[in-house]
Structure 1
Amino acid sequence: MSTQMAVEVAEQPAAVRRTLRALTALRPAIRELAAGRRQVLFAARGSSDNAAVYGRYLLETHAGVLGALISPSVATHYRARLDLSDAVVVCVSQSGSTREIVDTQAWARECGAATVAVTNVDGSPLAVEADLALVTQAGPELAVPATKTYLTQLVAMAVLGTAIAPSLEDLDEELARVADEVERLIGDPGGVGAAVEALRDAAYTVVSGRGLMMGTALETALKLEETCLRPVRGYSYADLRHGPISVVTSGVTAVLVAAPDGPLLAPLAGLADDLAGRGATVVGIGGDARFGAACAVHVPGPELPEALAPLGAIVPAQLVVEGLARKLGLDPDNPRGLAKVTATDPHS
């Protein structure tokens, strides 16, 4: 019997197509709103924050636009007054009802920012109160773990980036292939079963990626931890190299996520060799043949350029998480202690 999470993973190709149609039409409005502003700031929590990490990297590496993540607590707890007249602030919440993010958006406008909401719920407070709303078209998501809402947030980030930097529109042909790639990965989940077995027996798990794939690594770690109830740490490649790698030994499973090209592919393959040499079981998602050969278990990823690879690479990770939860006798649709709308501590 299929879980709701598996059903919603399978709905992602259609969700991507709908979202692309809806949001690419808003490119002129995005350009107009961002005109004359030199930086883009993102505010989000949880999975939405991981989507924002991708948006930031895309803008900085391919659009020449300064991006950054801002902490909502600066607005909601410290109530700091910042000059944001040079900024576009993008607030990301699948429900559009996370109070902290709604309040952060209002604060950003008071500080002079132009505001963009990325949400899956038209008419939500976040969408209504933004200068411009990018409403993803994932449809209702019933399973608690975000799958199709997360992927359509990534689509929104890609549309945002290509709108702000028209030179990025040369990615349009590849962007149009994303839904087909997602469909292919769902239909041919090679390596997913072996990855589930490797993670089932892990005493401890680390997940790592770098650059444009950093958000994918963090989202994979989050999903493994919250859905499979295992202790998992998500690290950037650099942070893992800096010190925590010293505790990697037998009994550790390391999940590495990589794009099929780009300047960070070779270093990640080298990291896979290093981790294996320390006794870890290395599970690789994505990458190329060299990367796959360095991993004990390899789950193929999308055939997309690095700038768009995160839109496909999260799919095999989702399949691994759903399969592992079932293997552990857990309900992936309703992880213990989680709710669909993010709630943080009261701030007023």
Structure 2
Amino acid sequence: MHSHLGKLPRFDLVEGCTPIERLSRLEQKLGYEGCPPIYVKRDDLMGIGGGGNKLRKLEFLIGEALNQGCDTFITTGARQSNHARLSAAASARAGLSCELVLTDTVARDDEAYRRNGNVLLDDLFGAICHRRPADVDALAVAQERAEQLSAKGRRAYVVGSGGSSPLGCLGYAVCAEEIIAQEKDLGLRFGRIILPNGSSGTHAGLAAGLKAAGDEPGRIESFTVLAPIKKARAVTIDLAVRTLALIDPASAFVEGDIVVTDGQLGEGYGVPTDAMFEAVKLVARSEGLLLDPVYGGKAFAGLIAAIREGAWPNEEPVLFVMTGGLPGLFAYELAFRQN
């Protein structure tokens, strides 16, 4: 681990490295002569709260909250936020109270979306949920709530959507080191590392980690699932620069180091697409693996489209970072039954 990372407060939420697996059956199902070897980094396989990529960020965020003597963890997200659910679970593990400011960002109002999936689990983990309309500044609400708690002698730690602060992004700088080590063990090098881009923290952290290790962050390609491409790219670059400054201030990104792609966003965040449905069903029926409909499903649809278009050299293995989000499938029950 980079020396700077080892000095920061950290609360253990991830047990060891997550495995990398080859999807040979999927390669056969795709049936393209030019199909590259496809691997997945199983960041859905983490024990706490149903698992998922946000736990890597929460190790540093919860660690800092505890180091500051906080008793409450407050964060924001959409109604079906994976980050919110895992914040609630991680807070329970750490002995912190958890409060969530959840906005109705996605225009869905069926019963499964309102009551099942992450919403069910937020309550189960004991979080206090503050529900707000889509146009409300959730972070401002969270900060106001922290001030209310402070007036009562409490101390709250506040972080925004996705836990994607530079500190939170360090979780994926650690993951970058993991991937480099696993490549050596496997005797291969991934030509592309593919992932979804929501709040941009996973991509930013991986890019910073690879850059600090003297590797090539330009082999990471994320598909925006939240913001229009111009904004997604700008946010990712800014966050990656600030994250790199925490671990290797002497390094700097150059042109081509941050690659964010569009084409899979569809009508917007959390709005299903035909390509997403196809990707989720294809991976489930060929490999028995479950992608979520909001993040992984859309990004994997982008991976499939790129392979079909012959966009990547067929001799270079591709790694997909499987970020979790399984409870989202239950929230989208109606959408899957209608498709």
TM-score over 0.5 (shorter chain): no
User: TM-score when scaled to structure 2?
Assistant: 0.30
User: TM-score when scaled to structure 1?
Assistant: 0.29
